[in-house]
Structure 1
Amino acid sequence: MKTQQLREKLCRISDEILKPGDFHDKLAPAITDYVALLSQIVKIDSDDEQNRKHIQSEMGQAIGTFWAAQCVKEILRTQRFARSLFSAIKEKLNQKSGPVQVIYAGTGPFAALALPVMMHFTPAEVQFTLLEINQQTYDVLLKVLDAFNLNAYIAKCEVADATIYQVENKNIDIVLSETMSRALIKEPQVAIMLNFARQLPSDTIFIPEEINVGLSTQHKSGTEPKLIKRLMEFNTSLRQKLVDDTIDFNWQFDEVAIKTELEEGESLFFSTEIKVYEANFLGFNDCSLNLLERVKTDKLDPKNLKFRYALKETPGFMVYN
């Protein structure tokens, strides 16, 4: 398919993804078409071990090329993140003449949250710095950008570990990173956001805007969880506090002590809610990022638990008495 045809298809898809409101009847077909369009450009072999291989950093695991490609299929996740980026760019363009400078950290093979947005702005209005740690994934990304002829939007495109990346241009307006799993386990989302927060101006927009992880109970599978207490509200104020209190990359999070009284049949879970940006939210079961994660309390007194988030090779909440 020629570049112009690819761009026209992407334009139609992006119109549906970026529409205001929540779910609408053309959204799911648009995401299906988006996945099909990207698959036409590059074939990611699911049987190739290299495509399934994760990359380990000091502060989290970057998922393999095949797995990263699957994320696009999550309808509300793709919609809310892409629409948030679109809104943030519009907001910054109201404040400056452009171009708005965006760091997109952890692009995956498609930079899937940025492509629909590029269809609604010119390169004079927005410029992207694209960072991807996985060479295999990065190689696919270059093919996608070439196929759509989008290189005019790219200020820089690098193979880099965003948890330690040093920013040369401090005039960054927006940082976008969707490098997370439920309950902020395993992946380097928190480390990436903190790394950029310590280098960039306070008026930089971070997407997602806020990630809330709570301790919740659930009676049976599928039912709405009941929040006991927030364990962490990862937002601008917490990022700034950590930056102010931390030397180098030795991030230290506060301990949260909780007394629980479980009813019969109840289990403890970590629950995740995301304010992506402004009115774009992801809550319970909206996507895989909002699935419950069971709290392991074997050999612990479940009535008196302590929690502390830790950034290490496998990030997540430590649970102890």
Structure 2
Amino acid sequence: MTAKFSLFRPLTESLLKTNSEAEEVEIANSLAQMYQELLRDFVLDGSYSNTNPTHVDGGIALSSQHALDCLRDPLRTVRFIKGLNAAIQDAFIRFPDEQLQIVYAGCGPGAPIVFPLLCLFTPEQLSITLLDINASSINSVEELIIALGAGDYFRPGYLGDAIIYQHPPELPLHIVVSETMDKGLTKEPQVRITQNLASQLNDKGIFIPESINVYTEHSFYSKEPYFDIYKNVLDLGPVTNTRDRRSLFSITRDIQISPSFEYLSEPIAVPADFTETPDICIYADVIIYGDLKLTKAQSLISNSYCVKSLYNIGATQYRLHHTTSDIPNWEVIELQDDLLAP
């Protein structure tokens, strides 16, 4: 195999032309296979197979191997690549005659959202900074950069926490990419990373994903279609019936910088009859860029998340509380009837 990043071109050109989920899955599988071969051939110490996650104040950062496993989340992979390509094209218009500064937070051992696009641009157009908290990821991706002859596109990789990373102020930041999230905005530090990096963007800069729209429904959780990397996303079955949809909040580049993000919902009524929908579930529609998005059960990051069974609630109303302090999580706060507003 020729050690040049141009070897991505056939796949990249096909990927950008996909217009069905079946085509997206086929291309994503080919891309995942290519990465396995590249890492095997050029990262000889196998450090990318490290499976030790890292706890930061804001979530759990995936290990190198688990980050690499996300390539098997096909619709997510393809649509983030498409989204970044579209964002770059728009950024050329917003920032004419400027070299675009791109930060990719949580790049893993292969930086799969940016590498396939290099064949479409020149180093004079793009300058990319890769961030990851795992030394095994930074070491692996830097070995790939050297092996594929792509060094002119990249600034030195940053080994550290994206929640505190400060981009050089003399390099105006045009695009940030971070897909460091799990279902229902639990576990991983997406929100805290967004708080830090979005605030450093140029006024007309672009954050990918553009928006994470979180909502709740009462559902029958065990009947929900649920994607994992061992399933075919095209064959998960129909979406189950839900009720009482309520929008909660959205995460965008306009998020507050500090303190740690907290959310408390308005009171939500427990249905009189919930036998068909006995679970309180959280969902996130991920708007990657423009019309590119991931909705319920299309990805690991848009799967449903069950907070609690209604059978275990003794009150008639409750609130949902979300925090990013320590590890992002949800809890149900029961409202006693004698404390409810009249």
TM-score (norm 1): 0.89
1:229 lines up with 2:246 in the alignment: yes
1:253 lines up with 2:266 in the alignment: no
AA aligned to 1:206 is F
In structure 2, C-alpha distance between the alignment counterparts of 1:202 and 1:8, rounded to whole Å: 33
- Residue 254 of structure 1 and its aligned partner are, at CA, apart by 4.5
- Residue 52 of structure 1 and its aligned partner are, at CA, apart by 1.1
In structure 2, C-alpha distance between the alignment counterparts of 1:191 and 1:51, rounded to whole Å: 24
Which of 9, 12, 21 is the matching residue for 2:10?
A: 12
Give 3-state SS (helix, strand or coil) of 2:282's partner.
Answer: strand
Percent identity over paired residues: 24
Give 3-state SS (helix, strand or coil) of 2:204's partner.
Answer: coil
Tell me the residue number matched to 2:333.
320
In structure 2, C-alpha distance between the alignment counterparts of 1:312 and 1:208, rounded to whole Å: 22
In structure 1, C-alpha distance between the alignment counterparts of 2:134 and 2:85, rounded to whole Å: 26
TM-aligned CA distance change 1:93 to 1:256, over 3 Å: same
Tell me the residue number matched to 2:55.
56
- Residue 197 of structure 1 and its aligned partner are, at CA, apart by 2.5
In structure 2, C-alpha distance between the alignment counterparts of 1:102 and 1:133, rounded to whole Å: 18
Give 3-state SS (helix, strand or coil) of 1:87's partner.
Answer: helix
Tell me the residue number matched to 1:35.
32
In structure 2, C-alpha distance between the alignment counterparts of 1:302 and 1:214, rounded to whole Å: 21
What are the Cα deviations for residues 39-66 of structure 1, in whole angstroms up to 9, with x where unaligned? 1122389x99971110111111111111
AA aligned to 1:106 is G
TM-aligned CA distance change 1:207 to 1:104, over 3 Å: same
Tell me the residue number matched to 1:189.
190
Tell me the residue number matched to 2:321.
308
Tell me the residue number matched to 2:274.
263
Give 3-state SS (helix, strand or coil) of 2:191's partner.
Answer: helix
AA aligned to 2:39 is V
Tell me the residue number matched to 1:275.
287
AA aligned to 2:101 is Q
Gap regions ≥5 residues in structure 1 = none
In structure 2, C-alpha distance between the alignment counterparts of 1:15 and 1:302, rounded to whole Å: 55
Q: More displaced, 251-260 or 115-124?
A: 251-260
Give 3-state SS (helix, strand or coil) of 1:253's partner.
Answer: strand
TM-aligned CA distance change 1:260 to 1:234, over 3 Å: farther
Tell me the residue number matched to 1:163.
163
Tell me the residue number matched to 1:77.
76
Tell me the residue number matched to 1:94.
93
TM-aligned CA distance change 1:20 to 1:32, over 3 Å: closer
Q: How many residues align?
A: 310
- Residue 182 of structure 1 and its aligned partner are, at CA, apart by 0.5
Do 1:309 and 1:315's aligned partners in 2 also have CA atoms closer than 8 Å? yes
AA aligned to 1:185 is T
Do 1:13 and 1:31's aligned partners in 2 also have CA atoms closer than 8 Å? no
Tell me the residue number matched to 1:177.
178
- Residue 257 of structure 1 and its aligned partner are, at CA, apart by 2.6
Do 1:61 and 1:187's aligned partners in 2 also have CA atoms closer than 8 Å? yes
Do 2:56 and 2:326's aligned partners in 1 also have CA atoms closer than 8 Å? yes
Q: More displaced, 36-45 or 180-189?
A: 36-45
Do 1:224 and 1:284's aligned partners in 2 also have CA atoms closer than 8 Å? no
In structure 2, C-alpha distance between the alignment counterparts of 1:270 and 1:292, rounded to whole Å: 6
Structure 1: 4+ residue segments shifted above 6 A: 47-50
Give 3-state SS (helix, strand or coil) of 1:42's partner.
Answer: helix
Give 3-state SS (helix, strand or coil) of 2:207's partner.
Answer: strand
AA aligned to 1:292 is S
Do 2:214 and 2:247's aligned partners in 1 also have CA atoms closer than 8 Å? yes
- Residue 24 of structure 1 and its aligned partner are, at CA, apart by 5.1
Do 1:135 and 1:159's aligned partners in 2 also have CA atoms closer than 8 Å? yes
- Residue 299 of structure 1 and its aligned partner are, at CA, apart by 4.9
Give 3-state SS (helix, strand or coil) of 2:327's partner.
Answer: coil
In structure 2, C-alpha distance between the alignment counterparts of 1:213 and 1:225, rounded to whole Å: 18
- Residue 200 of structure 1 and its aligned partner are, at CA, apart by 3.1
Give 3-state SS (helix, strand or coil) of 1:313's partner.
Answer: coil
Do 1:217 and 1:225's aligned partners in 2 also have CA atoms closer than 8 Å? no
Give 3-state SS (helix, strand or coil) of 2:156's partner.
Answer: strand
TM-aligned CA distance change 1:221 to 1:199, over 3 Å: closer
AA aligned to 1:202 is D
TM-score (norm 2): 0.83
